[in-house]
Amino acid sequence: MLLALLQANSAVLDPEANCAVIDAAAREAAAAGARVLLTPELFPVGYAPRKLRSGLDPEVLPTLRATLAATARRHGIGLVYSLPRVMAEGDWQISATLLDANGEVLLEYGKVHLFGPDERAAFSPAAERPAVVDFQGIPTSMVICYDVEFPEAVRAAAAGGAELLLVPTALAHGFDDVPQVLLRARALESQLTVAYANHSGVEDGCRFLGGSVIAGPDGKLLAAAGEGPQLLFADVDGEAAKRERAAVPYLDERRPDVYRAWED
């Protein structure tokens, strides 16, 4: 399966411009034969947690979701996007959604680990376990940005059967080891493909690293971006995770009862 990953600069509180960028990337990705396009964390509205909380009217969110679903349908490609979501009790969370090529929701996820004072001031953490769905014959799950830096989050997805992990992110400049070292370790230790889509450029005073990567279940990079805007592609082998797990059965040989005793 050909996977496409958008690395780009978004405009804070300009959903129309950002959705146009996603639409153009979806058109190009679909023309290249990609089955899914992964976009960065909060890309449709820009990454600026405090400004989003004070300046984004939540009434626009259903329209944004409909616009993104229309993009998936128009170009016949799966799409991962990240937006704020407002819970029944009024809390705001950071979410990610996986759509199929008909614009139908396959999977939703709420960010569990919030990074830094801005995110914690604007959003509340979710608590849901990463769910797994079949996407193009590959068991697929999602986490968001800082979540992937916790081995427990990725291992929960893998233990649930995931062989592909899609990760919208917003990683600042200066954290190069996250995509180059940590992401590859996560892919290797849980033996699944990890696709990690970051912003580029500057948004609300934050300079982003770029450096998006796609790492295979053997820990090797399938594709890596530089610092600037880029549409990244990689072929995801639907059998690769199974081969790695058969060779070294990390998941089968875990001892969670022992680990729980250690924590106690």
Structural domains in the chain? Answer: 2-263 (3.60.110.10)
The encoded tokens of residue 86 equal 């407002």
Q: What is the pLDDT of residues 150-187, one digit of tens each?
A: 999 999 999 999 999 999 999 999 999 999 999 999 99
**CA 4 – CA 252 distance, rounded (Å):** 31
Q: Is 244 a catalytic residue?
A: no
Specify the amino acid at residue 136.
Q
Q: Which of 41, 119, 163, 244 is catalytic?
A: 41
The encoded tokens of residue 246 equal 């058969």
Q: Is 163 a catalytic residue?
A: no
DSSP β-bridge partners for residue 164 = 140, 193
Average pLDDT, the chain: 98
pLDDT at 29 over 90: yes
**CA 153 – CA 76 distance, rounded (Å):** 30
In this prediction, residues 67-82 reach a mean pLDDT of: 98
In this prediction, residues 33-50 reach a mean pLDDT of: 98
pLDDT at 264 over 90: no
Q: Which of 19, 119, 145, 203 is catalytic?
A: 145
Q: Is 145 a catalytic residue?
A: yes
Global model pTM greater than 0.75: yes
3-state class (DSSP) for residue 195: strand
Q: Which of 19, 111, 149, 163 is catalytic?
A: 111
Q: Of 228, 161, 232, which is closest to residue 196 (Cα–Cα)?
A: 232
Strand duo 164-168 + 193-197: pairing: parallel
Q: What is the pLDDT of residues 120-129, one digit of tens each?
A: 999 999 999 9
